[in-house]
Structure 1
Amino acid sequence: MKKTIYIIIGVSVLVVLTVLFFVFSGSRLFKSSAWESGKHINFFVKFGIADEEEVRAKVQSTYQQLFFGNEMTQRLFYETADGDGFISSIDSRDIRSEGMSYGMIIAVMMDDKDTFDKLWTFAKNRMQHQDGEKKGYFAWQLRNEAPYVMLDPYSAPDGEEYFVMALLFAGKRWGNGSGIYDYETEANDILHAMVHKEPSRTISPMIDPEHKQIVFSPNPPAAGFTDPSYHLPAFYELWVRWAKEDNELWNEVARVSRDYFTLAAHPETGLFTEYASFDGKPYKVSFNSSSHLSAFDSFRVIQNIAVDHLWFATDERAVEAVNKLLGFYAAQPTIVAVYSHDGKPKVNYGSPALVAMNAVGATISTEDFAKRFVEELWAQPTPAGRWRYYNGLLHMLGLLHVSGEFKIYGNPELRE
């Protein structure tokens, strides 16, 4: 009798401990981070939505449509008469450092060196300042027709961040060439400019020296606040490991960004605003009526939080942040693109880009509704038509992350 009781007690304790493990380990249901394990999970397969072959086919067909599809209605990538190429923002008829750097990092993940080099050649020769106080920085906006004149010489630092990461991944995956194709040297040169730019009344570093945060733009006064979606702790972690200098700084910037996600999230909704002060408060500006709202830039924050956790799993607050934000969206009768910080809808339309980013967030969620967000991305058609630039690029990034095809090239543990 006593033996039976001891067995029952032992089994009960084991069950309780198992439950507690899964509760407190949160997203560590994936057992170890991508950096530790070298494994990137295919969540479409994990959730039972599709098999490996179907996922590979969808990723490939989406890339083919967005980069090489119909010139009028589908593609974003265009070649110039000189043989280089660019990503076009169709609706605004311009070329942006954001889109160029996204295009490059997508090309690395798709193992398309030819397209990568065409994009990098264009960005290096036509967008990057080669002299003057802006040397090393990229103009964020060019006209999308020859001769591709600069519309705004100032920078949007998310472009620089993605240029750096794309170049480092390219060097790790394909090896470095010479000249501008010495990818890792080019990446380190950009990092140096971002940190060590001599400040003046008209220019500043991209990392605020006091707050250790990425700035909205390195031209005062736009350097006095930030954009939460520019905070990329997963990238900073890799720069701690791979950059030629300032490694301790990047470690601190990563830590500050993780803390910042807690500061900038609304305590009830979990939403982020497009722009925010360095202490996380919504920041209103005259040139963007949505700056103090949760809108288009804000879509990307959940991706940044989730990717950091998938890759490094250093901060369990990431799971709580994603659960709260997706919980807000799951409770909405219809998910729209723009909300006030406290969750009041401001428009009556949704966004494919938001669908894609929420699916990335769902990869670390511990809630039952997580699968719904991954299913919505799987069911979403590849964006086409006038609004395909932002929607299409984030749709592609979402597919790469959720399918496990956005990999840490250069990780010695990587299993391809």
Structure 2
Amino acid sequence: MRRVRAPLVLVAVLSVAVATVLALVVTGRSPDRDAPPTAAPSTDPSRSGTALPAGPDLAARFVDAYVDADGRVVRRDQGGDTVSEGQAYAMLLAVAADDEDTFDRVWGWTRTNLARPDGLLSWTWADGAVVDANSAADADVDAAHALVVAGERFGRPDLTGAGKTLATAVLDHETAETSLGRVLLAGQWAKTEPYRVNPSYSAPAAYAVLGRATGDARWAQVADGDRAVLGALLDQAPLPPDWAQVRSDGTVDAMPPPGGGDVAYGLDAQRIAVRYAASCDTDDRALVGRLGGAVPTASSDVRGVYDLGGTARVDWQHPVALVSAAAVSDAEGASGAAGQLLRAAADLDTRASTYYGAAWAALGEDLLEDPTTLGITCREQETR
């Protein structure tokens, strides 16, 4: 057996120790826990929410309540920090409302404070600086989507160019090839196998918009790969999980969140129905229909968290859960029920508003009732 001299062992140990200390100093987190935790809350909004004035303009209400004058979106009910997801939500809502001023403010703050050297966006900012430089792929996709639509709507080639650049960075750094196809990863930090994915980050309608804008065939590949992942998860259980992992051989497994917790169909996963119901692909919408037998769609029965078999784990409701139920109804062709659920989501957020609930009450209205506001034109004749 080959022997290693003691001095070399000492050098190796010291090197590992130095690297660990540097990782903690630079990132504030252990190097084996570099994944951003979920941005979705996990508590009853009635305990942390704030009453807001009632009004039909949900996008404007979100901007008034959560967007500062400089364009920073503040999670006021979650410690006052900012995440790239929230910046992207505000950009989508601003372009849907034809609000160029708000769009410029939000994108300007985002570009100045969150841009990474690889073209992606840092995930978390607080107290004047980025505190987690890892990326979150849903924010990057949503921001790129908003930018290319804004560029066309406002006649702004600078925005179109920024959207294309961000879209290419997503494909280069936040996707991976598997036997199921190319899949969207949870972020640049998930680039090693087994690949961590958050199924609710998948946005097939946005992929179509970005594919048209960039001419990059990889967006269609991601749509196919993500659809295959979601289908595999639904073959394993009636409801998809908040988090999962995918191996290059196509093996898909439900997983707990990176920061710990239970496998569940929670406030992350409930976005899946909304994003897929907005898709132009009938196969995507058919996947949403598969959720209908596992969770209730009557507004009084909807709950915030379920296990993957469809048993409610909490008694409280949340706007995103109601919007998700609306998406299921929409995919099943029950437009009246979908409209009632969207109104219930808006009413709940009026009584106890939270950053996440307000964002999805407004986004659900745009994606399900008038997706053309977000450049999704293929379903123009289907929407109400």
Q: TM-score, normalised by structure 2?
A: 0.75
1:293 partnered with 2:264: yes
Q: Contact 1:228–1:264 at 8 Å: present in 2 too?
A: no
The correspondence for 2:274, drawn from 293, 303, 327, is 303
Shift, 1:331, TM fit: 7.7
| Alignment map for 1:181-200 (pairs within 5 Å) | 182-196=158-172
Q: Aligned partner of 1:89: which letter?
A: R
1:99 aligns with 2:79: no
Whether the aligned pair in 2 keeps the contact of 1:140 and 1:155 (CA below 8 Å) is: yes
Cα distance in structure 1, aligned partners of 2:358 and 2:192: 28
Q: 1:408 to 1:67 in 2, by over 3 A?
A: closer
Deviation of the 1:240 alpha carbon: 2.3
Corresponding position of 1:340: 307
Percent identity, aligned pairs only, is: 21
Query: Rg bigger for which structure?
Result: 1
In the TM superposition, residue 265 of structure 1 has moved relative to its aligned partner by 2.0
Q: Please say if residues 169 and 408 of structure 1, whose CA atoms lie closer than 8 Å, have aligned partners that are also in contact.
A: yes
In structure 2, relative to structure 1, the CA distance for the partners of 1:413 and 1:306 (3 Å cut) is: closer
Partners of 2:355 and 2:225 in 1: CA distance: 31
SS state of the match for residue 87, structure 1? coil
Q: Contact (CA 8 Å) 1:169, 1:410: kept in 2 or not?
A: no
Cα gap change, 1:220 to 1:231, in 2 (>3 Å): closer
Does the 8 A contact of 2:96 with 2:374 survive in 1? no
Q: Deviations over 1:97-134 (max 9, x none)?
A: 111001001100001000000000000000112x3xxx
Paired with 1:408 and 1:393, the residues of 2 have a C-alpha distance of: 15
Query: Please, what is the CA RMSD of the aligned residues?
Result: 2.8
1:18-167 counterparts in 2 under 5 A?
59-60=56-57, 62-68=58-64, 75-79=65-69, 84-92=70-78, 93-129=80-116, 131=117, 135-143=118-126, 145=127, 148-167=128-147
Partner in structure 1 of residue 204 of structure 2 = 233
1:115 maps to a residue whose letter is: T
- Alpha-carbon shift at residue 77 of structure 1 (Å): 1.0
Deviation at 1:272, TM superposition (A): 1.2
Task: Describe the shift of the 1:412–1:388 C-alpha distance in structure 2 as closer, same or farther (beyond 3 A).
Answer: closer
SS across alignment from 2:331: coil
Q: Is the 8 A contact 2:84 2:139 kept in 1?
A: yes
Task: Provide the residue aligned with 1:283 in structure 2.
Answer: 255
Which residue pairs with 1:374 in the alignment? 339
User: Taking structure 1 as reference, are residues 263 and 111 closer, same or farther at Cα in structure 2, changes over 3 Å only?
Assistant: same
TM-score, normalising length from structure 1? Answer: 0.70
Structure 1's unaligned 5+ residue stretches are 1-56, 69-74, 197-204
Conserved? CA contact 2:95–2:373, under 8 Å = no
Between the two proteins, the alignment pairs up a number of residues equal to: 319
- Measured after TM superposition, the shift of residue 405 of structure 1 is 5.5
Secondary structure at the residue paired with 1:297? coil
Give me the whole-angstrom Cα distance separating, in 2, the residues matched to 1:206 and 1:142. 20
Deviation at 1:340, TM superposition (A): 1.5
Of 109-118 and 208-217, deviating more is 208-217
Supply the AA of the counterpart residue of 1:334.
D
1:354 aligns with 2:321: yes
Amino acid at match of 2:336: K
Deviation of 1:156 (Å): 0.7
Unaligned runs of 5+ in 2: 1-53
Aligned to 1:218: 188
Deviation at 1:193, TM superposition (A): 1.9
